[in-house]
Amino acid sequence: MSPTTTTPATTLTAGVVVERIKAHIGFPWMTRTYRDKFHFGGPDTVVHGIATAMFDSYDAIRRAVEAGLNMIVPHEDTYWNDRDDVSIVSADPAYKLKVDYMREHNVVVFRMHDHMHAHKPDWIYVGLARALGLKSEWETAPQSHYFHLPETTLGELAGDYQKRLGDKAIRVVGDPDAKVSRLHLGVGYATPSINEPNVDVVVSGELQESDGFLDSPAYVLDATTLGIPKGWIMLGHHISEEQGMLEMARWIKAFTPEVPVQLIRTGGPFWAPRG
């Protein structure tokens, strides 16, 4: 009877995952990016599972670890500033606790931001459009982010989006009874101008309430008072971009079959008090 032989399990490292990402992105890697790189751990870390996430929060990391996923691919920062400059947070107790947990559980973090937005189509827009039920045939031109919807009211549209996304703190400006059909989609800070004649409603992530250029609540309020049907639905930065990280998880899974890959949802950070 011949001896039984076993094939050793494949050891997948974070460096191999990143090289596959670079090989499949479809355009030359932008080596000067300060975002899309390792932000904790390094290429030699053995990967047991991959989690994509919108923000690399402690809660997201903890839930990923509990699911057996020790490589985190977030869209946004880890240390509460865009450059992840640890020198400005190293004395903060939250920084120490977060880093200690990641070190204890052999977590590795590789951010994907600039290349997601540079990809055609932009995965963040793809994810949000899918989640909102915006059909491709409604888009006036591919990747234009302009959609011609069946006519509805601003209130009905906002209510539908709140249900679809589970956003507890959606904010809306404009008359809820205003008839709307022409929508311009934005994500994150990319809020389109609302004064365009071919746009009834802008759906975006976040923006300051004043000092913008023709994209502020003040313009919508004046337009509404003057009888010009305009609306602005602000979903929040997190909510508007999180769906794109589901697209990222599906994309990575296609060329990383050795380990589980999934989105760790965190939802919006805001809540509205009960009145």
pLDDT tens, residue by residue, 220-256: 999 999 999 999 999 999 999 999 999 999 999 999 9
Q: Which pLDDT does position 9 carry in this prediction?
A: 54
CA angle 37, 114, 41 (to 5 degrees): 15
Residue 145: alpha-carbon gap to chain centroid: 16
Radius of gyration of the chain (CA): 21
CA distance 9 to 259: 11
CA distance 28 to 142: 23
CB under 8 Å to 156, separation ≥6 — which residues? none
The confidence band for 216, taking pLDDT boundaries of 50, 70 and 90, is confident
Q: Rounded to 10 degrees, what is the CA torsion of 151, 153, 158, 161? A: -30
Q: Which two tokens stand for residue 117?
A: 């937005």
Domains of the chain: 14-119 (3.40.1390.30), 126-237 (3.40.1390.30)
Q: Give me the helix-helix angle, 237-255 and 14-24, nearest 10°.
A: 100
Instruction: Output the CA–CA distances (angstroms, integers) from residue 48 to 1, 27, 62, 245, in the order listed.
Output: 35, 28, 15, 19
Place of tokens 């090989």: 23
CA distance 116 to 125: 10
- The answer to whether 46 and 12 are in contact (CB under 8 A) is yes
Q: Is the pLDDT of residue 211 over 80?
A: no
Q: Which two tokens stand for residue 273?
A: 């008090």
159-164 mean pLDDT = 96
Q: Is the pLDDT of residue 135 over 50?
A: yes
pTM assigned to the model: 0.92
The confidence band for 207, taking pLDDT boundaries of 50, 70 and 90, is confident
State the maximum Cα–Cα separation within the chain, in Å, rounded to a whole number: 90
Q: Which pLDDT does position 167 carry in this prediction?
A: 85
Cis amide linkage into residue 121, ω under 30° from 0: yes
